[in-house]
Chains A and B, each alone.
Chain A
Amino acid sequence: MEICRREDKLEISELDPFLAELLRQIPASTNPEGTPAAEKRLFSPPADRSKTEQCSEWKLYVEPELRRLFRTATETVAADLEQLNGNEKPFANRTLRIPTQHADAWLNALNQARLVIAAKYNFTDGELCDHYRSPIGSRRDLSLFQLNFYGFLQEFILREIGGCPEKTSD
């Protein structure tokens, strides 16, 4: 797999079937349904849980907006990943082109996916720091690899979008 920036696009090329499949799983991996810990992490309370009024107002007014934001990001990524569908070319010749204006959506969706995977498998700090774990011998190992692969993509996107416009400090 090769990954680089060309003008206003981020390109992931020379994709092998395994990594292409991990990419295709990003949208599905953002779904916290069926995993209360993941749902709880994506929609964490804005204050100590004893502040019931504040937390219930948040649930009523802010959480729907967060769900909409996360869904929009995931849909953007899913649309970009359509490039990987179809069988007319072998994966090795495929290139995924991500417009740089979609970078924020990708960062968000990748982060959702990483948080959901981590919550689902309840990885320890030690596992999360073990970037060279090998070989993949179980579903848990595979999920940890997937989480690290998504982290690698996030790092690449962050590097390529080059920081951010700075606002005036307060």
Chain B
Amino acid sequence: MSWQPQRRRAGVAQGESAVTFSAAKDATQSTVEDPVIEKETRSQEDVDLPWQVVVHNDPVNLMTYVTMVFQRVFGYPREKAEKHMLEVHHQGRSILWSGMRERAELYVQQLHGYLLLATLEKVG
């Protein structure tokens, strides 16, 4: 597949909230400086949350194929992938993932690469 979801590195990413404390550099000082609290900001991604990846039923796609795709794209264990596949089969749709828009878009692209009927929906 051409599209692989980009794993975000662990830790605080640009634009995410962060609260840090800086201690006094000069240990000889008898007093400790007041902690500096950085301004807490709300990232655009937080504002955008949540988006969901929805897969819709298609009677042509094989159940085993759909299960394999869910395992590959989302890294779900077989049981979880089968649960979602059966939800698609019986209820017509299943929400496979929800979270940040950028990643949800990548998942939808991957699912279309496997020829599944997938859409991106904003919750609410």
Chain A interface (Cβ within 8 Å of chain B)?
Answer: 42, 44-48, 54, 62, 65-66, 68-69, 104, 107-108, 111-112, 114-115, 118, 125, 128-129, 147, 151, 154-155, 158-159, 163-170
Q: Flag if B115 contacts A169 (CB, 8 Å).
A: no
Set of chain B residues within 8 Å of A62, measured between Cβ atoms: 109, 112
Expressed in whole angstroms, the Cα–Cα distance for A108 and B112 within the complex equals 11
Is the Cβ of B77 less than 8 Å from the Cβ of A155?
no
B80 x A125 contact (CB < 8 A): no
Asked if A47 contacts B75 (CB within 8 A), the reply is no
Asked if B72 and A42 make an inter-chain contact with CB atoms under 8 angstroms apart, the answer reads no
In the assembled complex, 13 residue pairs joining A and B whose CB atoms fall closer than 8 Å, in A order, are A44-B112, A46-B105, A46-B112, A48-B121, A66-B112, A104-B1, A111-B114, A115-B58, A128-B60, A147-B60, A158-B64, A164-B68, A168-B75
Could you tell me if A111 and B119 are in contact, using CB atoms closer than 8 angstroms?
no
A54 to B62, CA, bound (A): 29
Residues of chain B within 8 A of A154, CB atoms compared: 62, 64-65
A46-B108, A118-B60, A164-B68 provided; 17 other pairs, C-beta below 8 A? A46-B112, A46-B119, A46-B120, A47-B120, A66-B112, A69-B1, A69-B2, A108-B115, A115-B115, A125-B59, A158-B64, A158-B65, A159-B64, A165-B72, A166-B71, A166-B75, A166-B76
Q: In the complex, how many angstroms separate the beta carbon of A154 from the nearest chain B beta carbon?
A: 6
A165 and B108 CA atoms in complex are apart in Å by 20
CB distance from A35 to the nearest CB of B (A): 14
Contacts of B99 in A (CB 8 A): 170
